[in-house]
Amino acid sequence: MSFELLCRSLAAHGQDHLVKYWPELSKNERENLVSELQKLDVVEMNEIFRRAMDSTKVILERNDADLKPIPQTHYEAVPDLSESKIREYETIGFEEISAGRVGVLLLAGGQATRLGFGHPKGMYDVGLPSHKTLFQIQAERILRVQQMAAEYTGKEGSIVWYIMTSEHTMRPTADYFKSHSYFGLNEENIVFFEQGTLPCFDFDGKIILDSKSHISSAPDGNGGLYRSLKTQGVLNDITRRGVRHLHAHSVDNILIKVADPVFIGYCKSKNADCAAKVVQKSTPSEPVGVVCRVNGHYKVVEYSELTDEAAERRNPDGRLTFSAGNICNHYFSSDFLVKICDYESKLKLHVAKKKIPYVDADGVRQKPSEPNGIKMEKFIFDVFEFAEKFICLEVARDVEFSALKNADSVKKDCPSTAREDLLRLHRKYIREAGGVIADDVDVEISPLLSYGGENLTELVGNEVFTISPFHLKSMNEAATNGVNGNGNAH
């Protein structure tokens, strides 16, 4: 499209202010702006703004009677399952892994701004004895669960790791993996792709200029996953490889059981197309969304949308009625993803009023002191309502969920709590395997040695742990690092 046609198209749809400063731009600046504008579907962007604003005008006159908890037929809790049922689900999961039918969708676009880190959040080191980052911990869990599946089935299969970055984290993430030799994983089974962005608008629907030659934009939310899967060829890759089960989660959960065979097996056994892992809400006022049914559709209702009565309602056994806390830990069948990506445009748009830097009428970049525009995003869980077979699996919070979101000064969901939650879990594993360890002794168990507490009895049974900090490694890992042959190092 020529520049003249581009200008006419912008003018026809009320966005011609985007080229207001064209005469003042250098050759490189003009090329940059034209490149951005040519990628911009102005008709679609105007429609997105309209949909977003319409959604904010809808007053949610939701009666408590409209909300129902997940029915027991669609809900199981790992802590309540028998050992035989867990083994049954795990066996199914191992078989799917060994057959190469399992993939992981990692949401890793965050820049760790609240942590003051300035790099992809997956590269963060919370201060474990090993100083492993989130990326390394999760990579090694994939390696271990592949090994477990091979040992169980006698057949080696690979898990494909699909890692969604953002525009700003794509290159540093890919470089980080390459510089660490992909943490022992096969490079061919790691697929990086970018989360999309959406323009920022002022309240009148005008796209904001961040500079004279650059449009203001923001990531389109973790729900942008679905569009990115389709536009960047990831769906085709999933189909080509024969992947049937996708475990999706955010990078910031240090306790995540990546490609959890129990979760995969549970979902396959129930023929689910979509599922969520949840944890019990700790208190009625805990600021976490809950998975429930709204007028017959499965949704996540934000804590701020629950009335006090609904939040505090309890069952006869004393359990909160709406207790299924959402932790961004989901399952999708590949068939469901294909279906969802075909009508991704129907997903709800969530609007946030923000203070967005802009170029004023005199061409000067300003930083507003009050919200002056909106950023729009989609949430990954907004597809729940489109599932034909949706189920939930409740897991123990102390075993599977500890988020890393804030700096230590906040004292919640921060590096200190993430580190302590992992070390506390590892003390639990050691005790269950017959070891003796005090609460003030820090022992980290390498994911290459144990995925979820298995493979420890022979190593730690009747052992007394007194040295802190201590890093318990696999034999191969210990040999590689030049430590003694019993697999231990500190």
Residue-wise DSSP of 172-200: HHHHHHHHTGGGGS-GGGEEEEE--EEE-
State the pLDDT at residue 341.
84
State the pLDDT at residue 182.
98
Are residues 124 and 404 in contact, defined by beta-carbon separation less than 8 angstroms? yes
State the pLDDT at residue 486.
38
204-250 confidence digits (pLDDT tens): 999 999 999 999 998 888 999 999 999 999 999 999 999 999 999 99
* pTM to 2 decimal places: 0.92
State the pLDDT at residue 483.
39
- Between CA 128 and CA 113 the distance in angstroms is 21
State the pLDDT at residue 303.
86
Q: What end-to-end distance do the CA atoms of the chain give, in Å?
A: 63
- Between CA 197 and CA 170 the distance in angstroms is 13
Q: Measured on CA atoms in the order 260, 265, 270, 273, is the torsion positive or negative?
A: positive
Report which secondary-structure segment, H or E, holds 375.
strand 373-377
For residue 238, the number of C-alpha atoms closer than 13 Å in the C-beta half-sphere is 26
- Between CA 445 and CA 426 the distance in angstroms is 6
DSSP state of 314: B
Helix ranges (DSSP H) in 42-121 = 42-57, 83-98
Going from the first residue of the chain to its last (490 residues), give the mean pLDDT of each consecutive group of 10, the final group possibly shorter.
82 92 91 90 90 68 74 96 98 98 95 84 96 98 98 97 94 97 97 94 94 92 92 96 98 98 98 98 93 92 88 92 96 96 81 92 92 92 94 98 94 96 98 96 97 96 93 82 40
Residue-wise DSSP of 235-300: HHHHHHHT--EEEEEETTBTT--TT-HHHHHHHHHTT-SEEEEEEE-SSTT-S--EEEEETTEEEE
